[in-house]
């Protein structure tokens, strides 16, 4: 057995065990969170077929919901309400300056059981600004997210998940993040919600793409009003059509 296959089996086993710890949902007809997957950055340093050769070991009709660029009061709160109504957990990749401006929403994201990843300080394209400035953008963003969440600014993330703005990585930055034990998440499909469209158009687009791919990490933006309006109908579509939501969490710190 190869080391890669062994790592996959370990991750799948961990996810299966974690599934039993998923929170019960008071609404029996809600979509719910099917299982919890512990994402170990050592086993999977980078995932997402839009950018990398591999993704997460998801079964058919399993999806991971991710949201970028928040928090943004006008829309993130509506996204959180839609997720709570269906007892669904997601991963939010926060921009540091938005987290600094809206610490209450950062805490609300965590209180809802969602995972908090990192998306730089100001969303600059990291492949255009040089290694030193890119690392500063990453670390400043993590520090702001951690300050909003836990009250202490640190460049060591409590949840070691990172997503590049615009998926614009470089080999040197990927190596740096891997050496720090930070997993880079790309996406397997996206809603293209950076393009203006109606909520109905966006719903039809993401349904078409998901039904073609049948599983994967999905990228949304919780800063988009069209996404916030579309999300309840999308979650209902998942439930009606047999899709399952997988929630990503970080490994627990090792005990001394």
- DSSP track, 7-28: HHHHHHHHHHHHHTTSPP-S-T
CB 82 within 8 A of CB 234: no
Please check the confidence at residue 10 and state whether its pLDDT lies above 90. no
Gap between the Cα atoms of 123 and 220, Å rounded: 15
Q: What is the pLDDT of residue 19?
A: 38
Q: What's the pLDDT band for 25 if we cut at 50, 70, 90?
A: confident
Please check the confidence at residue 256 and state whether its pLDDT lies above 80. no
**Per-residue pLDDT tens over the stretch 113-129:** 999 999 999 999 999 99
Q: What is the pLDDT of residue 207?
A: 98
Out of 3.40.50.300, 3.20.20.370, 3.90.226.10, 3.40.50.1360, select the CATH number for domain 3-249.
Answer: 3.20.20.370
Please check the confidence at residue 98 and state whether its pLDDT lies above 70. yes
Q: What is the pLDDT of residue 252?
A: 84
Q: Do strands 46-47 and 183-185 pair parallel, antiparallel, or not at all (unpaired)?
A: parallel
Please check the confidence at residue 22 and state whether its pLDDT lies above 50. no
Domain ranges of the chain: 3-249
Strands (E), the chain: 35-38, 46-47, 62-68, 91-94, 115-118, 161-162, 183-185, 189-190, 216-221, 244-249
Hey, what are 108's tokens?
């609300």
Gap between the Cα atoms of 49 and 26, Å rounded: 35
Contacts of 86 (CB under 8 A, 6+ apart): 27, 30, 31, 32, 232, 235, 236, 239
pTM: 0.90
């Amino acid at each position: 057995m190869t080391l890669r296959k062994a790592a996959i089996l370990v991750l799948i086993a961990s996810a299966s065990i974690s599934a039993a710890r998923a929170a019960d949902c008071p609404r029996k007809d809600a979509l719910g969170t099917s299982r919890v997957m512990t994402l170990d950055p050592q086993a999977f340093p980078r995932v997402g077929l839009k950018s990398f050769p591999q993704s997460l070991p998801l079964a058919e009709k399993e999806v991971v919901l991710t949201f970028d660029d928040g928090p943004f009061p006008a829309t993130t709160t509506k996204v959180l309400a839609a997720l709570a109504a269906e007892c669904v957990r997601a991963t939010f990749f926060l921009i540091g300056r938005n987290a600094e401006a809206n610490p209450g929403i950062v805490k609300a994201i965590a209180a809802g059981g969602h995972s908090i990843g990192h998306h730089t300080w100001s969303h600059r394209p990291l492949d255009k600004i040089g290694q030193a400035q890119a690392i500063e953008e990453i670390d400043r963003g993590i520090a702001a997210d951690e300050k909003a969440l836990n009250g202490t600014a640190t460049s060591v993330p409590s949840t070691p998940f990172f997503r590049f703005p615009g998926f614009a990585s470089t080999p040197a930055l990927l190596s740096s993040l891997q050496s720090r034990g930070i997993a880079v998440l790309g996406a397997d499909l996206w809603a293209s919600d950076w393009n203006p469209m109606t909520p109905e158009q966006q719903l039809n687009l993401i349904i078409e793409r998901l039904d073609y791919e049948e599983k994967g990490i999905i990228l949304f933006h919780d800063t988009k009003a069209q996404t916030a309006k579309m999300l309840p109908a999308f979650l209902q579509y998942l439930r009606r059509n047999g899709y399952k939501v997988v929630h990503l969490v970080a490994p627990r710190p090792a005990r001394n």
